[in-house]
Amino acid sequence: MYKHPLIDRDKMTPAEALDILIEGNHRFINNYSVEKDFQSLLRITRDKQHPFASFLSCSDSRAPVELVFDQALGDIFSVRLAGNIASDKAVGSLEFSSKYLGSKLIVVMGHTSCGAVKAACDDFKDGHIGEIINLIKPSIRHEKTIAAEQRNSKNPDFVEKINALNVKYQIDSIIRMSDIIADMIESREIGIIGGIYDLETGKVKFLEDTLKV
Ligand SMILES: [Zn+2]
């Protein structure tokens, strides 16, 4: 049985970290949760954190990482920004968790029906929201199968295609922007993978073609 990362995290491989997440999401969709002793976890994690996985995921209130993977205090280093965008500050946070906290796996997780992705599909702008959209827009240029008049947020097929392309683009951005993370992936100290959380079923579909472990 899986023990708290504080105890055995250092021996964990990136592939094992992914298995723990897959098992946790399976519990979540089956409405089951492992018992958590938050009082003892508060005590254990009081002075130091040992997250086994780092997430770059969307801020959407319906996609809380710890809940959908049935994890507890100290397990997940969570970076959440609308559209799960690899801004320089997001990448810096992932460098911190990977290099200095020893986290084993980076997951870039989008979700179905993402408002930020829809806004990018419509080239929406207001206040600072345009800065988020600008970091999603390259994924739209990567999509070449949908006809011009169908390329908007009213077309769910287009939105979900952009959603998956966006996850892949953000992974590429992280690796392109960060020598620290690229080197750690190369030396197999950490892994990286993309996934899409389904708001209807609660299931996370990992994108196997993005996996580097
Ligand atoms: Zn979203």
- What CATH number should be reported for the domain holding residue 192? 3.40.1050.10
Q: Is residue 31 part of a domain?
A: yes
Task: Return the pLDDT at 3.
Answer: 52
Inside any domain, residue 134: no
Parent domain of 70: 9-113+167-212
Residue 142 lies inside a defined structural domain of this protein: no
| 3-class state of residue 146 by DSSP | coil
Chain mean pLDDT for the chain:
94
The verdict on residue 29 lying in a domain is yes
**β-pairing verdict for 105-111 and 53-57:** parallel
**Residue 151 domain-assigned?**
no
**Chain segment 39-76, per-residue pLDDT in tens:** 999 998 999 999 999 999 999 999 999 999 999 999 99
| Domains: count for the chain | 1
Q: Which residue type sits at 27?
A: R
* Cα 49 to middle of ligand 1, angstroms: 27
pLDDT for res 1? 36
Q: How far is the CA of 154 from the centre of ligand 1 (A)?
A: 16
> How much distance in Å is there from the Cα of 47 to the middle of ligand 1?
33
- The answer to the question of residue 33 being in a domain is yes
Q: What is the pLDDT of residues 66-86, one digit of tens each?
A: 999 999 999 999 999 999 999
Which of 206, 197, 207, 157 has the alpha carbon at shortest distance from 67? Answer: 197
- List, in sequence order, the alpha helices (H) in the chain: 5-8, 14-29, 38-45, 65-68, 88-95, 115-121, 129-142, 156-177, 179-186
Q: 187 C-alpha vs ligand 1 centroid, how far in Å? A: 32
The CA 110 to ligand 1 mean position distance, Å, reads: 7
- Identify whether 1 is part of a domain: no
The sign of the CA dihedral 171, 207, 2, 37 is positive
pLDDT reported for residue 53: 97
Q: Is residue 133 part of a domain?
A: no
